[in-house]
């Protein structure tokens, strides 16, 4: 059995303007040890799904099981085996020194004292928390706090970790620290991670699998690579010509011109970049050129817009 099983899952909210179907029948399975990116535009139903998986919200229909439990029915028992980090909110004790939060989490999740000490020592080292232990949580910077949140969430060694925008608002360095930690956690402990994010960089760097939902439905489920191959056949060759003469190349379409710079769009499966460059150099004098790969951000935007793979 899979660690997470979601089948025909639905959630309808009753609002003043009538019923709204936030989740409209979603199916997926997540195996133990997967690192899944969960993306979709605002209001797509991402957080509603996560809430149903973590037992905060009762489904209107369909089935959800996490670690073999029905979340809303066995909320407390599941809570012992799952970790949750919501980037915008804190799970720590705001007014108390950080170490007291770890202490409380230890008691709350009944982690044996010796295990807790050993695990905490390792987390402190990996996340560089040592100097922060005596600092009240309210005085931590956002980056420091996020490292502390992660430590508190994984201290009980959860089997599954739900993350909601864990890198939001962080600077480059802090983002890297959070990502390194998550990658290592998933690799060394086999923790299953469900990462909800708008930051596609998080996803391409961390996730083996990407789930995209919109209007409460699953619109993509596969690897990031497969997404690139399916949608990413269009590449762009950017050329700086040596002179101002008009230029054209067989097999590519001129999409933009600015001064001496030209943008040629071409399909990867029709002509290779090498072939195209050879054709171009045969007829024109070129000062410089670069090749642009479609970035994942573009692809996902196209998916949100409802484009199908070419």
Partner 1 sequence: MVAEHPGVYLRLAAASVRATARRPAHLTARTLAAALIVAIEVAGVMLMLDQFGSIGGWQPAEVVVLFGLGFAGQGLALVFGDTLEASKVSELVRRGTFDQVLTRPASPLGWVVASYVDTRFVGRHLAGLATVVWAADRAGVAWTPRRAGLAALAVASAATIIFGVLMAAAGFTFVTVQGSEAVNVLIYGGQYVASYPMQIYGSALRFLFTWLVPLGLAIYVPALGVLGRPGPPGLPARLAWLTAPVALAFVAVGGLAWRAGIRHYVGTGS
Return the number of the residue (150 or 241) whose C-beta is nearest partner 1. 150
Q: How far is the CB of 84 from partner 1 (least distance, A)?
A: 5
122 binds partner 1 (CB under 8 A): no
CB 110 within 8 A of CB 90: no
Q: How far is the CB of 37 from partner 1 (least distance, A)?
A: 21
Tokens of 183: 């990658």
Cβ burial, residue 83 (10 Å; 0-12/13-18/19+): buried
Phi then psi for residue 140, to 5 deg, are -75, 150
Binder among 7, 20, 58, 287 for partner 1 (CB under 8 A)? 58
Q: Does 56 bind partner 1 (CB under 8 A)?
A: yes
**Which of 62, 109, 133, 143 lies at the binding interface for partner 1 (CB under 8 A)?**
109
Q: Does 95 bind partner 1 (CB under 8 A)?
A: yes
Query: Cα separation of 115 and 133, whole Å?
Result: 18
Instruction: Tell me if 296 sits within 8 A of 228, measured CB to CB.
Output: yes
DSSP category for residue 208: S
Pairing of strands 82-86, 160-164: parallel
- Which of 35, 93, 264, 266 is close enough to bind partner 1 by CB under 8 A? 93
Alpha-carbon distances of 54 from 98, 105, 176, 181, rounded to whole Å: 25, 18, 27, 22
The CB-of-77 to partner 1 minimum distance in angstroms stands at 7
Contacts to partner 1 from residues 20-39, by CB under 8 A: none
Please, which residue, 48 or 197, has the CB nearer to partner 1? 48
Binding flag, residue 82, partner 1 (CB under 8 A): yes
Binding region for partner 1 (CB under 8 A) = 13-14, 48, 51, 54-58, 72, 75-77, 79-80, 82, 84, 86, 88-89, 91, 93-96, 100, 104, 107-110, 136
């Amino acid at each position: 059995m899979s660690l997470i099983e979601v089948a025909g899952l639905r959630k309808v909210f009753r609002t003043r303007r009538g019923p709204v179907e936030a989740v409209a029948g979603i199916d997926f399975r997540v195996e133990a040890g997967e690192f899944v990116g969960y993306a979709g535009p605002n209001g797509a139903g991402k957080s509603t799904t996560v809430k149903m998986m973590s037992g905060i919200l009762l489904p209107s229909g369909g089935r959800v099981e996490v670690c073999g439990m029905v979340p809303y029915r066995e909320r407390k028992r599941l809570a012992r085996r799952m970790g949750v980090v919501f980037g915008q909110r804190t799970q720590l004790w705001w007014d108390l020194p950080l170490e007291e939060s770890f202490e409380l989490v230890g008691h709350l999740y009944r982690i044996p004292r010796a295990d807790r000490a050993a695990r905490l020592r390792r987390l402190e080292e990996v996340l560089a928390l040592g100097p922060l232990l005596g600092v009240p949580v309210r005085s931590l910077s956002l980056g420091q706090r996020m490292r502390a949140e992660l430590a508190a969430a994984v201290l009980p060694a959860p089997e599954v970790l739900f993350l909601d925008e864990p890198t939001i608002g962080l600077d480059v360095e802090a983002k890297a620290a959070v990502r390194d930690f998550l990658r290592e956690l998933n690799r060394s402990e086999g923790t299953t991670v469900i990462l909800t994010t708008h930051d596609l960089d998080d996803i391409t760097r961390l996730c083996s699998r990407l789930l995209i939902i919109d209007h409460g439905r699953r619109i993509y489920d596969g690897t990031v690579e497969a997404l690139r191959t399916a949608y990413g056949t269009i590449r762009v060759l950017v050329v700086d010509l040596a002179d101002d003469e008009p230029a054209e190349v067989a097999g590519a379409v001129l999409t933009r011109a600015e001064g001496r710079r030209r943008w040629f769009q071409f399909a990867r499966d029709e002509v290779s970049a090498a072939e195209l460059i050879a054709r171009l150099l045969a007829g024109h004098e070129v000062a410089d050129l670069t090749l642009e790969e479609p970035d994942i951000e573009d692809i996902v935007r196209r998916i949100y817009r409802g484009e199908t793979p070419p």
